[in-house]
Amino acid sequence: MKPWKMKRTEKDALMSHGPRMEEVYNSIEIHHRITRGVHRDVETAIAVARKFNNEVLRPMYLERDLKHMEDHEFLSRDIIKKAGEWRFFTLFVPKLFGGQNLHFMALYPFIEEISSVCSGLGHLIFVHYLGAATVFPTMNMRVLQTIMRDVARSERRGEPHLIDLTITEPDAGSDAQEPLLINRGRMTSTMEKVKGGYILNSRKVFISNSRLSYWHLIHSWEDKNDRASSLTQFVIPNGTKGLSFGACEKKMGTLGSTADEVICEDVFVPDRWVSLRALDPFFKNSKKGSKWAVHSVMDFVVSASRAGVGAIGTGIARGAYEIAMDYARRKRVDGELLVNHQWAQIILTDMFRNVCMTRNVYMESVYADLLAGVFKVLYKKPIHYYMKFMPKWFFTLILPLLKSRLVTYIFRKYYYDWYTNEERNITSGWASFAKYTCSDFGLVNANMALDLMGADGLRHDAGAEKCFRDVKLQQIYESTNQVNQMNAFFCMVGNRHPEVEYFT
C-alpha cells in the first residue's frame, strides 16, 4: 500500500489534530460555495469605489479634513447626500430587503478602496452597514424589513436614513461588547417595563455617526446582575421624545465620521421597537438559553464589523503606500529620483507587502463569516439565485409574509438553536485577527511613509500625516487590539486546552 493512501477514518483522525480545514482554509472552502457572479459583484464594487474616489473624493478630501479639524461638530451631510445618489447605503443590501443586491462580500474591498483615499468616509459608510449587521442577527423580520426598506426609500428621496449602533458608555467600552467581560462592565443604562413598552434611560459615548443617523440601535440590560443573559436591543428613530445628543468628541483622525454622546432621558420605546430581548421565552426556554443568545448575537455583530475595521486599516495602509510611492517618483535626492534609491525601493516593497498581507487577512475573515456567520443563509446557492433572479416587486408583494412571526421563528431557530461553538469560534476569532492585524500594519505603513518623506510628510497637503492620525482610531475601535488578541486566543488558540482560563 502506498504510504499516502489511507482510509477515511484515519484521515479524519489526523485532520482533527492541529488546525482544521474549516479553521484556517476558509478561502479554499468558500470557492465551491459561491457563484461566479460574486466575482463580478466584487469587481463592480471596486470599480464604482475607484470612480467615486476619482470624481468626488480626491479633489476635496484634504480640504474637507481641514474643515473638520477647525470645527469638530461639522457634519458631512453633503457627502452623505452624494454617496446616497450613488446608492452606497443600499448597494450591498439584499433585494429581499429592498437593496441593490450586490454580494455582501463585495462590501469589504469597496470599503478598502474608499478608505485608501478617505478613511473618514469609509468609516461613515461602514458604520451604517454595522448598524444593519446589528439588527440582522436579531432575526426580527418585521423590524428588519421596516428599517431597511425605509433606508432604501429615503436614499431614493435624496435624504438617506443611516443606522448606528449605540452601546459603549462612559465607564464601559470594550467590556460592553465582549460576552466574556460584559458582567464586569460598569454599565449604567436602565430599562423599566411599562404598559405597551419600556422606559429607557442611558448615556452612550463615542457613538460613530450618531448625529448623522436616523435609526439608533441602543443596547441595554434587563438584569444588572446577569447582563450576559439579559441583553435588550431597542430601535429608536430620530424625533423620539427624550432622545438627544451630547458632546461631540474632538478626535485626532477619521474626522469625516463624528463621534458623539447619545442620551436617552425617560424615552418610551413601544414593544414593537424592541428588536431583541434575550429574556424572551423563545430564548429563555430554548435548549441553549438566553446566555447563548446574547453571546451569539454579539459575536454575529463583531464578526461582521471587525473585518470591516480590517478593511479600513488596509485601506489606510494602502493610502500611505500610494502617497509614499507618488512622493518617491517626484522627489530627487542627491540628483536622483528617490524611487531609484535601493533603500527607498526596499521600504516601498515592504509597504506594498503589508497591504497585500492585511488584505488576505481581512478577506479570510470575510470568507469565514460568509461560511458560518450572520449572512450565511443568504448566500446558500438556492437562496442566492432566488434573490438574484426574482424581481424586486415580488419581494414587496410577499412583504406581509416576510414580516410574519413564523418567518422570525424559523430564522431564529436556524441562527440560534442550530448555531455551533465551532462556527462561532471561527468567525469571531478570524474577525479579531483581521481587526488587530490590519490596524497595526496600517500604523506601520503610516510610520514608514512619514520616515520615507521626512519633514515633507508632516505637511497636511501631502496626506501622509492624515493616514497616521486616521489609523490610530482603528486600533481602539470595535474593542481595543489587546482585547481582540485575547478574544482570538479564546476562540482559536486556547480553545483546545481545557486547563486554560480567560480574562482572569
Residue 239 has pLDDT above 70, yes or no: yes
What is the reported pLDDT for 113? 98
Across the range 220-230, mean pLDDT stands at 92
pLDDT tens digits, one per residue of 419-477: 888 999 999 999 999 999 999 999 999 999 999 999 999 999 999 999 999 999 999 98
Q: What are phi and psi of 477, to 5 degrees?
A: -75, 145
Q: State the Cα–Cα distance between residues 143 and 217, nearest whole angstrom.
A: 11
Look at residue 12 and tell me if it is in a domain: no
Residue 365 has pLDDT above 70, yes or no: yes
Q: State the Cα–Cα distance between residues 230 and 115, nearest whole angstrom.
A: 36
DSSP conformation letters of 20-62: -HHHH-HHHHTTTTS-HHHHHHHHHHHHHHHHHIIIIITTTHH
Higher pLDDT pick, 222 / 1 = 222
Residue 92 has pLDDT above 90, yes or no: yes
Q: State the Cα–Cα distance between residues 385 and 35, nearest whole angstrom.
A: 9
Look at residue 42 and tell me if it is in a domain: yes
Look at residue 8 and tell me if it is in a domain: no
Q: What share of the chain has pLDDT > 70, as a percent?
A: 99
What is the reported pLDDT for 189? 93
Residue 179 has pLDDT above 90, yes or no: no
For residue 231, count other CB atoms closer than 10 A to its CB. Answer: 26
Across the range 34-62, mean pLDDT stands at 94
Residue 253 has pLDDT above 60, yes or no: yes
What is the reported pLDDT for 126? 96
DSSP conformation letters of 88-118: TTTTTS-GGGTS----GGGHHHHHHHHHHH-
pLDDT tens digits, one per residue of 4-39: 788 888 888 888 777 777 788 888 888 878 888 889
Q: Which residue has the cell 416587486?
A: 393
380-400 residues labelled b (16+ CB within 10 A) or e (exposed): eeeebeebeeeeeeebeeebe
How much is the mean pLDDT over the chain? 92
Across the range 403-431, mean pLDDT stands at 90
Look at residue 480 and tell me if it is in a domain: yes
Look at residue 383 and tell me if it is in a domain: yes
Residue 84 has pLDDT above 70, yes or no: yes
Cell of 74: 461639522
pLDDT tens digits, one per residue of 263-297: 999 999 999 999 999 999 999 998 899 999 999 99
Domain harbouring 180, CATH code: 1.20.140.10
What is the reported pLDDT for 78? 92
Higher pLDDT pick, 386 / 234 = 234
What is the reported pLDDT for 393? 85
For residue 37, count other CB atoms closer than 10 A to its CB. Answer: 13
Structural domain range at position 230: 19-496
Q: Angle between the 421-453 and 289-330 helix axes, to the nearest 10 degrees?
A: 20
Across the range 138-167, mean pLDDT stands at 94
Give the 3-state secondary structure of 301-322: HHHHHHHHHHHHHHHHHHHHHH
Domain count within the chain: 1
Look at residue 419 and tell me if it is in a domain: yes
Q: Which residue has the cell 486566543?
A: 489
pTM score, whole prediction: 0.95
Look at residue 178 and tell me if it is in a domain: yes
Residue 1 has pLDDT above 60, yes or no: no
Cell of 216: 439608533
Q: What share of the chain has pLDDT > 90, as a percent?
A: 69
Q: State the Cα–Cα distance between residues 447 and 449, nearest whole angstrom.
A: 5
Look at residue 504 and tell me if it is in a domain: no
Task: Give the chain's length.
Answer: 504
pLDDT band of 382, cuts 50, 70, 90: confident
